[in-house]
Each structure stands twice: as structure tokens, then as C-alpha cells.
Structure 1
Amino acid sequence: MIKNAANARAFPRSDAKVIAAHQFNQKLRIANLNVGSMTGRSSELSEVLLRRRVNICCIQETRWKGSKSRDIGNGFKLLYNGSITNKNGGGIVIDQDLQERIVEVHRVSDRLMSIKFVLDNQPCMNVVSAYAPQTGCTTSEKEIFWNDLDDLMQSIPTTETKYILGDFNGHIGQTSPFNARVHGGYGYKWWTDDVKQKLEQKKTLFKSWQNSKEETDLEAYRTAKKVAKRAVAQAKVKSAEDFYAKLHNIKEDR
């Protein structure tokens, strides 16, 4: 009996060590990305977020149905909200450390959602992911979105911090020479010659289908539309990666 007592652990590790193990580094990296579609891109997205050391990432155009959460790899979890069709959809990707700090998830619509986090020794943090209606959507749909966003922001206590990220489908003019004066020249880096060419081809094929109403022209337009969307999504991802790489280099130079 004495021998067993001598070899046994007298007491569990101190509470201080347990608390220290779960304390969170207060420096956060929050990002936003229009993914175009999450189908087949979970692993790719998680690897980018891991490489960029992003803690929270709001994403738009997931094109997933339902309202669920899903592990996408590398310790990241995606909480998303979609419609009954494969259109729109948004979500928020959370790293492993922050997943245990979620206290509320508010899914307003397939274009708007928010997550509340509890942090150490500071007010709760609210992260809002928004995807504004684009050109072609009805006026009523646009009004509903902005009213929902206003109601959501009003529902968050003023004592809590708020971060709004999203794709607001904003456009600054129709030509690029004046854009640099407004946003520093970073916002249109994805507008490459390849993207322009594929979008122009899509528009041309759409007009051909409208004039002919032939099934072959419709299929050609649908194919060009998919190619153009893929080109835009890839160009935006590359533009974002180049931008963050530039910021990282500037930080290292300092």
C-alpha cells in the first residue's frame, strides 16, 4: 500500500497550467474571400489560410445548400448558410483555437451571417460575413439585404466589437485610370487580360444565343460562363495572395 502511494501521482496538474494551456493569443488575422464555389476547394482554402496564418476568414458564394458546419482540413471549420438552390451562400471559417470560443451563430440569410466570440479580458467580438446583391438582382432583393444588415448591426450591443467583411459588389467607375486615387491601386489587380478576354467571349456567346435560340449556342455560352467564372475566381485568389505577400515583405523590411 505504501509502495503504490509513493509511485502514484499525488495531485493533478495545477489549475493555473490548465488555464494557461487554453489562453488565446490576442493577435488575430481576419480575412475575406469570394471563393466562387466551395465545391472541391475545401483543402485548397484551408492550406491557404494555414500558410497565411489566418484565424478567421469570411467567404462568399459557397454555393452550398443548407445551414451546417464542416471541417475543411488543417484544423479549420466552416460554418455556412446557403439557400435551397446552388446559388449565393456565405460562411465563416474558424481556426481550431477560436472554435471553442464561439458563443453565438446568427444565420440571417444566404447572404448574411455573423458569429460572436468570447475573448480574454475584453468585450465579445462579432464577425459579420456579407454578400451584397450584384447587378441584375431586383431592387427589392437589394433593399432586403441592406435592411437585414442594418437590423443585424443594431442587434449587436454597442459595448461589443464588430468586424464587417464581405463582397459588397461595389464598382468604382467603368475605367481603371482613376481607381488608384480611390483605393491605392490594389483593388483591380485581378482584372487581367486573360480575365477580360474570357468575359468578352462569354458576352459574345450570350448575344449569339439570344439571337439564334439554338441549343448549341446555349451550350457554348454555358461553357464560356463557367470558364469565365473560374478565371475570375483564380485571378482574385492570386491577387489576394500577392497582396498579402507584399504586406508580409513590408513587415519584414521594417
Structure 2
Amino acid sequence: MTVYVPQVGLDEEEKKSFWEILDKVVRGVPSSENIFIGGDFNGHIRSSSLGYDDVHGGFEFGVRNDKGMALLDFARAFGLVVMNSNFLKKEEDLVTFRSRIVKTQIGFLLRRKRDRTLCKDCKVISSKNFVTQHRILVMDLVIKKDKLRQGGKG
């Protein structure tokens, strides 16, 4: 699932509606299913996990703001982890939005805590071929293949 949090300038009711809808969607995913949430959360979660050790790996940059706290609270409520906070990177490799004025990290990838070991890396792909100010954020995963039963049908 991908998300795009309402931007600056929209009223609080619209922003609240986003979190309520996302909450409803995530509640609808059975706990036995894998879940991937990624997108522009338009918030900053800070370089320190301070108070959010259960959902934040401690590797980010910037200063936490209200939108970042909302993301971390959401992750905690659903047993998720902000995966790209779990890998030590140079600042340049954390930037998910860059303009002439600002460089920041507002793109995040979330997974259930129990599945965190399947993620081997999260990284930003930067290229001069991309026209957008948003940079691509990817997750390297190990996918386990179910074993086939020996002898018998099915």
C-alpha cells in the first residue's frame, strides 16, 4: 500500500481524515498477512529514537515534528516498524525530497515488527534521470518460499 499524506495548507479535518482512513485500512488486514506501507508521510521522525525505540531504529536525520510523531504513534498502535530508520546511511542517502531550498526525509517504509528481519536494507535511489524532487525509496527483502509437501497430492 502506498500513501501520500495531505500537504501543508490543507485543513486539519482533511489531515485527520487521512489518518482515520489509513487506520481503517490497516485494521482490515489480517494479522497473518504481510503488510508494506510506504510513501510520503510529510513528517520528520528525528535522528534519535527517543521514546520510540520500539518502532524507530535510531538512524535518520532532522528534527522530529508533529507529523513525524503521528507516524511513530501510528506505527506503535499497529505493531509496525519504520524500516528505513534501521539502517545506518550517509545523510545524502536518507534524503527522500530535495529542492533548491531544502533537503529532507519525509518518505518512509513500514512493516510489521515480526517481519523486520526479512528486510535486509532500505535505501534511496538517486539519479539525474529523475525529474521529480521526490527520490525513490526501496526496500531489499528476503522472500521465503513455502516448502512443498513430499509424497502426496497437492
Question: Considering the TM-score relative to the shorter chain, is it more than 0.5?
Answer: no
TM-score by length of 1: 0.27
Q: Please, what TM-score do these two structures have when normalized by structure 2?
A: 0.42
Higher Cα Rg, which structure: 1
If asked which structure has higher relative contact order (CA below 8 Å, sep 6+), I would say 2
